[in-house]
Structure 1
Amino acid sequence: MTLQQIHVDPDLTFPVFLRAITEQYGDRTALVFGDESWTYRRLYEEVTKFEAALIGLGAGKGTRVALLMGGRPEWVVACFATMSIGAVCIPLSTYEPAVKRHQLLRHADASILILQDRLLRHAYLDDLVEAFPGLAGSEPFYEPRLPYLRHVVHVGDGAVGGQVIGWDDLLARAPGLSSEYLRALEDEIHPTDDSLVIYTSGTSGPSKGVIHTHRSVRVQFDRLPDMFSLRPDDVIWGTYPLFWSAGVAWVLGSAIASGATLVMQEWFDPAEAVRLIEKRRITVIHVTPPQLTQIEEVLDENPADLSSLRIFPRAALASHTDLPPDRPFGGASLGLTEALTLAAAIPWDSPVELRTSTHGRPLPGMRFKIVDPETGEELPPNTFGEIVFKGTGLMRGYHKVFPEDYLDAEGFYHTNDGGYLDEDGYLHWTGRMSAIIRTNAANVSPGEVESALYENPDVRITSVIGVPDAAVGEAIVAVVVPRDGASLTEDGVKAYLKDRLASYKIPRQIFFVEESDLQMTATSKPVLSHVKALVDARLSGSKVG
């Protein structure tokens, strides 16, 4: 796809994409969930049925449809059907407490909510009806706290009534619409129409609704398979939740666009993950470093056949697989929700040196600059500054936020990420500007140090921060949870890092802790504020070093 095609192709809409994929891969397996397998043709048929069901509820172009489910086929059907009729799909986090979920539901202006009754300890339907009892009543639902919400569709065996209807009941009462009518709806969707709103995690402030158009969804879905070196015979599994851009685009979108099979898991369980990899002969996995550690711990106790794997994170599963070091793996990229994952990247089968020393190049249709964070002036190659970009992959905007609040006068989005472009145009990302550790007049990314620590097979969990130091500005401190049975020492870990990091990036001090000493996020990452408090307590009354 040329840059000109990216800009003006009228077929860059989701329904055109789904029809083309179905025609190409119709009889191949698209989704696996439990013991059930869906072909691409069945997926398309289920999406078409749900399009009619949504239209029967009054949905049309621009209608906002919120989803609150785990990783299951109904999520895929609901999302794809919503976008295919020109409505806007809004995935909500299943991790959030009820009050936050309801706040997001109001902020999103959702008029239809499709939710799962229960997932793990969460009772989504009970929480909703308890907070808004009018939903169960016989009268139309007009609630000041959720002024746009009219209908709730639930998946499961929970109670129904009032404005709450079961998934199967909704399909049963859907109007019988002709294929010509549905095609006419789809044909009126333009690439610039909104299709998806992804809410950020809110780790650096309140959650923001990131609006993406059909064009940005199509462009990303189309190019991710080539970036990831995917094939139609791949069997893919990932832990990223579908309400993340990494879940909906990186995992789901790339799998569907490549004609591969996606094995779905409602929630992450390491033992079940190992069972799925072996049973389903999975070839590609997308998983976070802490989750990989949990998988490796399961494998240490109960070895499994992982010979089907061909793509997985670098430095992972080294003792459980036998693949060459130049195998495909990711990492050379800059991804963010505002770009629906990748804004800069190189293919996962590029030369290893480029994949390990850069973060790729700006993708077609994207223009990058490095600017002085204080003056906004563009900086020359190999000069550290803030990464800014604009282009066809950039979000249309933040929901209910003025564009002047996040774009500069030239339309560039300021990422708050630090880095530089080298003389060959490769991006070098160094971390969040707000998280950068300033030590001895040098900038150090905590993420870079954490990545090097995670390459040590005896490191289970780690977090890196900077602490004030009179001599160097900030001293680097790492908190490490060793793997069970490992005998790590501070000197040993520092020696390990000498071959992987410049000397000034090696932590001045390393604290070994138990996992129970840390507070963890829902995605198995240490809560940074708690890490800082723990380090402060350990350092109380003593100097670092």
Structure 2
Amino acid sequence: MPDTVDGLIREHAIRHPDKAAVIDPAARITYGELDADTRALAAGLLEAGVDKRHRVGLIMPNGVGWARIALALMRIGVVLVPLSTLLSARELTAQLRTASVQHLIAVEEFRGRRYRDGLEPSALPALRTVRTPDDLAAATSAVADAMSRSVRPADPLAILFTSGSSGPPKGVWHSHGSAIGAVRSGLAARCIDADTRLYLPMPFFWVGGFGGGLLSALVAGATLVTEPVPQPDSTLHLLDTEQVTLFRGWPDQAEALARRRAETGAALSSLRPGSLDALLPEQRRARPGARARLFGMTESFGPYCGYPADTDMPRSAWGSCGQPFDGTEVRIADPDTGAPAAPGAVGMIQIRGPHVLRGICRRSREEVFTPDGYYPTGDLGHLDDDGFLFFHGRCDDMFKVSGASVYPGEVEQALRTLDDVDAAFVTNVSDGAANRVGAVVVCRTPTAPEALRTAAKSVLSSFKVPTIWRIVQGDDDIPRRGTGKVDVERLRDLLRDD
């Protein structure tokens, strides 16, 4: 199978030229059209002064247009820098500078943001041109065709900025080979094949949308269905009319869609197992903890650990993230010393292999990797005897209670095994002198904190049992950042109010 974007597009254009590649509410494009359009657009970009290994920033909402431009750039070896539509002018300037972007392609406006307003040219010495998508023209060029065929798997593909749970975002770069290899290694676990019609709400500027959506469809030869602004009614209509077979995304979005489904009359009859449970019939849903929680990050170009999403794991592995995919080595290290941890012990997850990031902007290799080539992820976990990975939170999330270590992920996992508990979010609540364990818990039915505390004592050591509780009825009540990640500070505020 090809290991460059150009090779993948050419192959699918030959195999199934009339199959839809990308669909949005306003447009669609087949693999044959995608091949022709991106080839012509690449030629036009070359004539406009964009060359191989130039770094090009792209700011657009999800859709066929984003896919056409991004794939045209990557076909000729340009380094794509997907940029968030949520960025302020200051944040955008910082990311353009970090990635040394030479050309910027940005829509004039999206959801009230005008991206060219407020840019600081004096702070961007590398930036040469700023264009809108409408400024791009098609052309014909034998040079462009020859250049696309010259791209190799080791050539840089993209620089992706992490969403940043703490600290400034990092510009993580991947090659064609590392990104495509990472996607290919996880397709089976994510239940994606050539017959899949995949809906995924994540923006293309995050690895979840770019790798998990666009490149996943391209590697598998599947059809990707997307939309610029997901809304329950429009999304349900899209899922039905486009006969989407696989819905992957945020659990809270699936829950919101499920609540609106009856009112809209959406059948969702094409959805198959592997989709998020909330949208599947009751009898086709998995038992809590039975399916793997696909686990990955920008630095691994998406999931590096999982298990077939339509299949229960062995009972001993319930609650785990599954097993590492082919091509990624996982080891557990002592967070303080970096030495390998004892078998079964909780420690920092380190990853190595051909699918892992190639580097981070403005950092040396020695700053990014261990001497033997592992990337320290900052995540905590342990491997069981069968190689299943259990996630225990972030290294910087761990806190002490009476001198003992509490890992929020471990407590959350235990609480999710309790009757009536759909989700749990755990953090420390400090009074200035000592930490207490706090939990915000999503329950199916009204439940008293005392009942949960009693039940938690059967699955947790006493010092890990939350002493501060907040019971909520839905995931919509959980405070989140714009990235979808839980806002820990606001979570603590909720718990302090109780």
TM superposition score normalised by structure 1: 0.81
After TM superposition, list the pairs within 5 Å mapping 1:265-276 onto structure 2: 265-276=227-238
* Paired residues of 2:180 and 2:215 also in contact (CA < 8 A): no
Match of 1:449?
412
CA distance in 2, matches of 1:108, 1:494: 48
Does residue 89 of the first structure (1) align with residue 80 of the second (2)? yes
How much does 1:74 deviate? 1.4
- In the TM superposition, what whole-angstrom CA distance separates every residue of 1:314-371 from its partner, at most 9, and x where no partner exists? 55246x5542538999634430110101222333344433663432223223222211
| Sequence identity percentage | 27
Match of 2:140?
176
How much does 1:402 deviate? 1.9
Match of 2:357?
395
Residue type of the alignment partner of 2:376? H
CA distance in 1, matches of 2:217, 2:187: 7
Does residue 60 of the first structure (1) align with residue 21 of the second (2)? no
* Paired residues of 1:328 and 1:348 also in contact (CA < 8 A): no
User: Pick from 19, 30, 35: which aligns with 1:44?
Assistant: 35
Residue type of the alignment partner of 1:286? R
Does residue 150 of the first structure (1) align with residue 128 of the second (2)? yes
Does residue 297 of the first structure (1) align with residue 275 of the second (2)? no
Match of 1:509?
468
Does residue 325 of the first structure (1) align with residue 286 of the second (2)? yes
CA distance in 1, matches of 2:88, 2:215: 27
Higher mean C-alpha deviation, range 387-396 or range 110-119:
110-119
CA distance in 2, matches of 1:436, 1:383: 15
Give the 3 Å change call, closer, same or farther, for CA 183–390 of structure 1 in structure 2: same
Give the 3 Å change call, closer, same or farther, for CA 454–56 of structure 1 in structure 2: farther
Match of 1:111?
102
How much does 1:535 deviate? 2.7
* Paired residues of 1:236 and 1:261 also in contact (CA < 8 A): yes
What's the Cα RMSD here? 3.3
Give the 3 Å change call, closer, same or farther, for CA 21–356 of structure 1 in structure 2: farther
* Paired residues of 2:292 and 2:319 also in contact (CA < 8 A): no
Give the 3 Å change call, closer, same or farther, for CA 119–330 of structure 1 in structure 2: farther
* Paired residues of 2:245 and 2:271 also in contact (CA < 8 A): yes
* Paired residues of 1:310 and 1:328 also in contact (CA < 8 A): no
Does residue 335 of the first structure (1) align with residue 316 of the second (2)? no
Residue type of the alignment partner of 2:67? V
* Paired residues of 2:398 and 2:408 also in contact (CA < 8 A): yes
* Paired residues of 2:346 and 2:382 also in contact (CA < 8 A): yes
Higher mean C-alpha deviation, range 511-520 or range 213-222:
511-520
Unaligned segments of structure 2, at least 5 residues: none
- In the TM superposition, what whole-angstrom CA distance separates every residue of 1:424-458 from its partner, at most 9, and x where no partner exists? 22222222111135557464334861796599889
CA distance in 1, matches of 2:288, 2:465: 28
Residue type of the alignment partner of 1:202? G
Match of 1:5?
none
* Paired residues of 1:228 and 1:347 also in contact (CA < 8 A): yes
How much does 1:200 deviate? 0.7
How much does 1:491 deviate? 4.3
Residue type of the alignment partner of 1:337? T
Match of 1:161?
none
How much does 1:489 deviate? 3.4
- In the TM superposition, what whole-angstrom CA distance separates every residue of 1:292-327 from its partner, at most 9, and x where no partner exists? 232233236445212221145555246x55425389
* Paired residues of 2:291 and 2:318 also in contact (CA < 8 A): no
Does residue 532 of the first structure (1) align with residue 484 of the second (2)? no
CA distance in 2, matches of 1:20, 1:308: 27
CA distance in 1, matches of 2:288, 2:34: 32
How much does 1:244 deviate? 0.9
CA distance in 1, matches of 2:488, 2:112: 25
* Paired residues of 2:351 and 2:376 also in contact (CA < 8 A): yes
Residue type of the alignment partner of 2:412? V
How much does 1:463 deviate? 3.6
* Paired residues of 2:246 and 2:275 also in contact (CA < 8 A): no
Aligned length: 494
CA distance in 1, matches of 2:241, 2:210: 24
* Paired residues of 2:286 and 2:312 also in contact (CA < 8 A): no
User: Pick from 186, 195, 198: which aligns with 1:224?
Assistant: 186
User: Pick from 183, 201, 205: which aligns with 1:243?
Assistant: 205
Match of 1:123?
114
CA distance in 1, matches of 2:26, 2:361: 39
- In the TM superposition, what whole-angstrom CA distance separates every residue of 1:199-237 from its partner, at most 9, and x where no partner exists? 011221111000101111221233332222223222111
